[in-house]
Amino acid sequence: MLHYFANPTRFQRLSRRVEPWLLAAMLVCFGAGLYFALFSSPVDYQQGHTVRIMYIHVPAAWMALFCYTAMAVSAAVALIWKHALADVAAKATAPIGAAFTFLALVTGSLWGKPMWGTWWVWDARLTSVLVLFFLYLGYMALRDAFDEPGRGARASAILVLVGFVNVPIIKFSVDWWNTLHQPSSVLRMDGPTIHPDMLTPLFLMAAAFQFYYFWLVLLRIRRELMVNRTRALRHRQASA
Amino acid sequence: MAVFSGRHIDCIRGERQVLSAAAFSLESGGALMLRGINGAGKSTMLRLMAGLMRPVSGVITWDGVDISDDPQEHNARLAYVGHADAVKPALSVLENVTFWSKLAGAGGMDASDALAALGIGHLTDLPARYLSAGQRRRVNLTRALTSGAELWLLDEPTTALDAATAEALTSLIERHLKSGGMAVVSTHAELGLAETGTLTLGGTA
Amino acid sequence: MSAFSVLFRREMRLAMRQSADSFMVIGFFVIAVVLFPFGVGPEPNMLARIGPGVIWVAALLAAMLSMDRMFMGDYEDGSLELLVLSPVALELVVCVKVLTHWLTTGLPLILTAPLLFVMMNVPGEIWLVLLLTLVLGTPVLSLLGSVGAALTLGARRGGVLLSLLVLPLLIPVLIFAVGAGDAVLFGNGAKANLMLLGGMLLGALALTPWVTAHALREAVA
């Protein structure tokens, strides 16, 4: 199946057909999610309206990890099977993942001020997410640092895989260390501990972010393929 | 009798197709000259033969076995002399040569003999930083002599060499071939080897 | 003679004949630490509090300084291609390179550290623990640094990029190393921290030579 979609032309055709649906699904989820998040969900008895930051913060943090994992899988496929489309997918994902990570850090900071009385604390969760942000930046910098694009692609793919050790550390940092950041209350073995009325908008927002990612990544992959094709034409021009 | 051959070799370097459907075959005692204008892919071909790069498609085999199946084993039978001379200025000439011969394992010419054969026997104790380009080139070539490798891959070996040394090199290659070795040499100049095959690369570039 | 000793003697010989590099690392280490009393004021209790952290951060930066040279010389003069093509396993070559890097930067850093403990007024009871963290931690710097050094070969502004890639990955080492000193001061004992550092060292030792070797093959391809 991998090879079926590996063909860039087939991929372009398919992705052009899927994109409008993703866009529509994203808009619906955003609309419903924001309505529930801002109006219809209950106010937290301790946190008041501040709790609504959660509906951006938590999905953004999930996406930060999801994007990195997607990148690591793509990088592994690109390294092992020399799969050109996987490499393009990793490249296309990086800035999106970096943006989600940044969003998670900023909203976390905004939430931290009223809750903990400070914009930033150096606990394990925050630090490891900050490292994740640096890993995204490092990936993009390394990828851009070579005159020959292929070398940059392979070197940065190795870097992504090395940096993957950070992902489980982030996930479990709140369980392993006694941190200020609260432990996971949704994705846990014994079921979620937060109120169902809060769960609905949270999942809607998470779905919206997810659709947003897939929509954007397909656009970016298509753009990247076009850039590659232009470059190939230039090379042909040079050697003609 | 070993056979070293390649079929349908395509290679893309950077973003440019350097080789397309190249092929060669070489037996023990044989030599192959790589010819072609600059950028035709001579160096690339040698790097593919060494296993430094892999072809995009096509296969290079030794006695029918893909060389990428066991790179370590392929490394043990080849000596590659590239454009860069890999000479450490901080080490003496002899230190430079013996390091590589020890790393390659025993079996080749003695280091001092090899230096003498290329006409720099008097320089053994000199720190390599005092060498001229031609002398560094000869130090580099010494590595092939001392390695005891079966397959020599020489990229423009006569660059920066004077006529007399080039002749000495030719007779050293001939000796290597007589003892059952193989050599692939990319060159612009005529080396004057007896019976050799020629592979001309890149008609279009 | 074994391949290890052939490689090791060459690396040491090269390092010895360019020993100025080692002294530069030490010089940087000392100067970076000495700047702090000027920056935050010379109050002894304050210096004692921040001393271990400052010394560790300076050691990290000093080790980074020499990191990009690990494979650069061999890459530029063509030796790296030949090392990749030698019958010796490239992982062994990497291990020897890392060992030499540690002997010429990590070890001198450890030997200089007591001098800085004195200057930064670091309490005597945590000297031993801090030295132990340096002994366990500096090899991790060399190991992870080798990955970065191999990945950035041939990159534009490779040295800066190398720090950008490797330093974030070294944050855990820094946390647990400095934490060991604090643990002793708070009376908790540093065993857990030292065990974690040891674990990181073993993990790095098992994985990085393999990753670095792979990155080097890509660099010369």
pLDDT value for B195: 66
Locate the chain C residue with the closest alpha carbon to B50.
Answer: C85
- Closest to C169 in 3D by CA, of A62, A187, A137: A137
Judged against a pLDDT cut of 80, whether residue A6 lies above it is answered with: no
Residue A88 has pLDDT above 50, yes or no: yes
Q: Which residue has the higher pLDDT, C7 or A175?
A: C7
Residues of C in contact with A134 (CB under 8 A): 164, 168
Q: Which of C3, C17, C221 sits opposite B53 (nearest CB)?
A: C221
Check CB contact under 8 Å for B15 and A232: yes
Tokens of C176: 């647990």
Query: Which of C165, C170, C171 to probe by mutation at the A interface, max A CB count within 10 Å?
Result: C165
Segment among B85-89, B98-102, B103-107 with least mean pLDDT: B103-107
pLDDT given at position C104: 92
Separation in Å, CA B197 to CA B35, B184, B194, C141: 11, 9, 10, 52
- pLDDT at C203 (0 to 100): 93
- For residue C79, the chain B residue with the least C-alpha distance is B86
Nearest to B50 by CA among C84, C216, A149: C84
**Alpha carbon of A44: minimum distance to chain C alpha carbons (Å):** 35
The overall average pLDDT reported for chain A is 85
* DSSP state letter for A44: B
Q: What is the pLDDT of residue A55?
A: 87
Q: How confident is the model over B175-186, as a mean pLDDT? A: 90
Q: Which structural domain, as residue segments, surrounds residue A98?
A: 52-179+194-239
Cβ-Cβ pairs closer than 8 A, A with C, add up to 58
C7 touching B (Cβ < 8 Å):
yes
Q: What tens digit of pLDDT does each residue of A201-236 get?
A: 888 899 999 999 999 999 999 998 888 888 878 877
| Residues paired with residue B155 on neighbouring β-strands, in sequence order | B186
B-C Cβ pairs (cutoff 8 Å, strict):
65
Residues 6+ apart with CB under 8 A from A108: A57, A61, A126, A129
Q: Which of B199-203, C45-49, C76-80 shows the lowest per-residue confidence on average (mean pLDDT)?
A: B199-203
Residue A122 lies in a domain: yes
- Distance in Å, alpha carbon of C142 to nearest chain B alpha carbon: 23
Looking at per-residue pLDDT, the higher value among C143 and B105 belongs to C143
Question: What pLDDT sits at residue B41?
Answer: 85
Instruction: Please tell me if residue C62 touches chain A, with a CB cutoff of 8 Å.
Output: no
Q: List the chains bordering chain A where 3 or more Cβ pairs fall under 8 Å.
A: B, C
Which of C22 and C203 is assigned the larger pLDDT?
C203
Give the mean pLDDT of B28-37.
Answer: 88
Residue with tokens 């060292």: C201
Q: Do C219 and A141 touch (CB under 8 A)?
A: no
Across the interface, whether the CB atoms of B99 and C82 are under 8 A apart is answered: no
**Residue A220 within any structural domain of the chain:** yes
Length of chain A: 240
* Average pLDDT of span A144-155: 87
CATH superfamily placement of domain B3-189: P-loop containing nucleotide triphosphate hydrolases (3.40.50.300)
Give me the residues paired with residue B34 across strands: B186, B199
How many domains does one find in chain A?
1
Taking residues B173-197, report their average pLDDT: 84
Query: Which range marks the domain in which residue C64 is found?
Result: 3-220
Pull the structure tokens for residue A153: 């692609």
CB contact under 8 A, B88 and C79: yes
Contact call for residues C143 and C169 (beta carbons, < 8 A):
no
Number of domains in chain C: 1
On the question of pLDDT at B203 being above 60, the answer is no
Which single residue is written with the structure tokens 């040698």? B46
pLDDT tens-digit map of B118-159: 888 888 899 999 999 889 999 999 998 898 889 999 998 888
Check pLDDT > 80 for residue A140: yes
Is residue A128 one of the residues assigned to a domain? Answer: yes
Indicate whether A1 pLDDT > 70: no
Q: Report the distance separating Cα C103 and Cα A62, nearest Å.
A: 43
Q: Name the helix (H) or strand (E) containing B12.
A: strand B3-13
Quick one: closest CA in B to C10, which residue? B99
Q: Which of C151, C156, C175 sits opposite A155 (nearest CB)?
A: C151
Distances in whole angstroms, Cα of residue A193 to Cα of each of A59, A65, A178: 17, 21, 19
CA distance B196 to chain C (A): 26
Q: Is residue A31 part of a domain?
A: no
Output A51 or C43, whichever has higher pLDDT: C43
In this structure, what token pair is assigned to residue C31?
């100067």
Q: Where are the domains of chain B?
A: 3-189
Could you report the per-residue pLDDT of A182-197, keeping only the tens digit for each? 777 766 666 666 777 7
Q: Which of A215, A219, A224 is nearest to A85 (CA)?
A: A224
Give pLDDT, residue A8. 74
Q: Is the pLDDT of residue A2 over 60?
A: no
A231 and B15 in contact by Cβ < 8 A? Answer: yes
User: Which residues lie across from A38 on neighbouring strands?
Assistant: none
Instruction: Say if residue C135's pLDDT is above 90.
Output: yes
DSSP secondary structure string for all residues of A128-147: HHHHHHHHHHHHHHHHHS-S
- The answer to whether residue C201 scores a pLDDT higher than 90 is yes
How far is Cα A27 from Cα A49, in angstroms, rounded to an integer? Answer: 24
Q: How many contacts does A have with B, using Cβ atoms within 8 A?
A: 11
Q: What is the pLDDT of residue C214?
A: 94
Q: How far apart are CA B139 and CA B135, in angstroms?
A: 6
Of A85, A78, A67, A84, the closest CA to residue A164 belongs to A67
**Are the C-beta atoms of residues C93 and C7 closer than 8 Å to each other?**
yes
| Dihedral sign (CA C3, C6, C8, C10) | negative
Percent of chain A with pLDDT over 90: 35
| Whole-number pLDDT of residue A141 | 93
Provide mean pLDDT across the span A161-166.
89
Tell me whether C168 touches chain A (CB under 8 Å): yes
**pLDDT bucket at B205, cuts 50 / 70 / 90:** very low
Nearest by CB to C155, which of A145, A158, A166?
Answer: A145
Whether pLDDT at B204 is above 50: no
Verify whether the Cβ–Cβ distance A150 to B14 is below 8 Å: yes
Q: Do C18 and B90 touch (CB under 8 A)?
A: yes
Report d(CA C85, CA C93) in Å as an integer: 11
pLDDT score at A187 = 66
- For residues C145 and B194, which has the higher predicted lDDT (pLDDT)? C145
The answer for C 116-135 residues in CB contact with B (under 8 A) is none
* Alpha carbon distance C90, A183 (integer Å): 44
What does the radius of gyration of chain A's CA atoms come to, in whole angstroms? 20
Question: With contact defined as beta carbons under 8 Å apart, do A112 and A150 qualify?
Answer: no
Surface of B (6-25) touching C: CB under 8 A? none
Partner residue opposite B99 with nearest CB, options C6, C77, C81 = C6
Which residues of B have a CB under 8 Å from any CB of A? 14-16, 204-205
Mutation site for A-interface testing, chosen from B11, B15, B20 by largest number of A Cβ within 10 Å:
B15
DSSP, collapsed to helix, strand or coil, labels residue B106 as coil
pLDDT band of residue C212 (cuts 50, 70, 90) is: very high
Chain C from 83 to 102: CB within 8 A of any B CB? 84-89
Q: How far is CA C54 from CA A4, A192, B98, C121, in A?
A: 55, 42, 45, 12
From B76, B86, B87, residue closest to C87, measured CB to CB? B76
CB-based contact, B166 to chain C, within 8 Å: no
C-beta atoms of B15 and A239 within 8 A = no
